[in-house]
Chains A and B, each alone.
Chain A
Amino acid sequence: MFGHFDLSVIVDALPYLFAEGMVFTLTLTALAASGGIVLGTGLALLRLSGVPGLTHAAKFYVELMRALPLVLVIFWFYFLVPYLGAWAIGSATPIQVGAFASALVTFTLFEAAYFSEIVRAGIQSIPKGQSAAARALGMSYAQTMRLVVLPQAFRNMLPLLLTQTIVLFQDTSLVYVLSLTDFLGAASKVAQRDGRLVEMYLFAALVYFAVCFAASLLVRRLQARTAIVR
């Protein structure tokens, strides 16, 4: 089958693959990662708050999300969110939630569980004396976190956050179950249309590898640059 390998199939499909597919994939990755890190940081702070109710609620959420397959959560949200939304605003008919919005919400909520564990470990890696010093200078809990603990914690966990984002980048291909066209979905459509499965799936794999490999090189460089001299 490699005898018929036709590069022109790939070249012809490039504009569509990148302008449509890759832009979608990167947009979803960037938005879900940002939202996930913000929400994950909130969850980590709740979990470390020492207030039993908040700690347990955050822990339950994280454990639940990490116990479910991502595809299931994607489906679940896609079919459930319209009804939840309707219930929330008191509407009789399910509200309209686009597939993209649904996917974004799903990935954000799902990734937040993973990010929160990274953030929690990052916060715990900062010596207790640092927050004691900040509080001794009169800082509030919020200031201690924002000005002293989190800036150091994020430096420590940057490699892990980016590594998790690379995983997210790959996982976004699951949006095909909602008939959304991400990079893999675009490649798949071309493959079906032109009957060129080998070329398109090989090329898609190559692109995923290139992007992830480049990203992990970046992680290593950042790691060296942001390390704090203690």
Chain B
Amino acid sequence: MTSAPMTSDPGTSAPQPAAAGGPMIAIEAVSKWYGEVRVLSGCSTAVTRGEVVVVCGPSGSGKSTLLKCVNALEPFQEGQITVDGTRVRDRATNLPRLRARVGMVFQHFELFPHLSVIDNLTLAPRKVLGRSREAAVRRGLDLLARVGLSAHAQKHPGQLSGGQQQRVAIARALAMDPVVMLFDEPTSALDPEMVGEVLDVMVELARDGMTMMVVTHEMGFARKVADRVVFMDRGEIVEDVPKDTFFDRPRSERAQQFLSKILAH
């Protein structure tokens, strides 16, 4: 693969600690290899405070990998990502502390099956943030109410439907009071009839002003709440444009093809 970085040269842009109004997430010329295979090629984009950015693209395009680089669940070999002023690829960075401020929702929910729903919500706030059990439970119950699952606090994840589990997973991430939320295909593993309830929670979250980076195929969600759409293909960011531009006048042929496939039915 012989692709050059698409956007600005990171060598010249000094790392900026994000002041208020600065980008919440700055991704600069990020490249990643699995051995010989290059999975990300010079990806650059940014998410400003309060912005909702949808990342889409065909499977294997690297969108989930890029998302996982943001909280360093995946290492990357070149470039830099800065989250709220903290450089991700920096030996001096305390990664657990960084991750505690970045909420993440996974495709397969990844609730802790050995714990009740309320314990899922309070574990990290207590053990990582050092909150008291009472404070953590109070906050957890508030969040469960917000995602409409107050009645299920004492159940175990295995007793809930997929849609309910994913709503708990969103509440679990919110319990850490994150400054930004990452969503990795949050509805792809759900039965179709449960997609709506999860998207409703996400739409509400977006309207409350949460900064969000969302990897998803749900173009309806993108149309409704996204500010910008980042389209990826083969490890590159091909388009990074406002939502309306993406849906109405996609520039690249690859994005046009992707849209025609995904919107055909």
Contacts and interface: CB of A to CB of B under 8 A. Distances in A.
Interface in A99-129: 127, 129
Given A136-B71, A136-B104, A228-B158, A151 B114 contact: yes
Interface string B86-107: 0000000000111111111010
A230 interface: yes
A132 B106 CA distance: 9
A75 B249 CA distance: 81
A137 B172 contact: yes
Interface stretch (B123-131, B224-232, B235-243): B123-131
A136 B172 CA distance: 11
Nearest to A153: B114
Contacts of A137: 99-100, 123-124, 128, 172-173, 176
Contacts of A151: 114
B108 interface: yes
Interface in B34-66: none
A155 B156 CA distance: 15
B113 interface: yes
B112 A138 contact: no
B179 to A, nearest CB: 13
Contact of A129 (B98, B110, B124, B172): B110
B77 interface: no
A82 B123 CA distance: 47
B127 A143 contact: yes
Nearest to B156: A229
A152 B127 contact: no
B99 A147 contact: no
Interface residues on A, range: 20 to 34
A130 B176 contact: no
Contacts of A229: 113, 156, 158-159
A198 B63 CA distance: 74
A139 B124 contact: yes
A117 B202 CA distance: 43
A133 B157 CA distance: 14
B46 to A, nearest CB: 21
Contacts of B98: 138
A133 B112 contact: yes
B73 A152 contact: no
A230 B104 CA distance: 21
A132 B110 contact: yes
User: Most A CB atoms within 10 A — which of B71, B110, B127, B128?
Assistant: B110
B135 to A, nearest CB: 17
Given A138-B100, A228-B114, 13 more contacts: A129-B108, A129-B110, A130-B112, A134-B112, A136-B173, A138-B101, A138-B124, A139-B96, A147-B127, A148-B112, A151-B114, A228-B156, A230-B157
Interface of B: 71, 73, 96-104, 106, 108, 110-114, 123-124, 127-129, 156-159, 172-173, 176
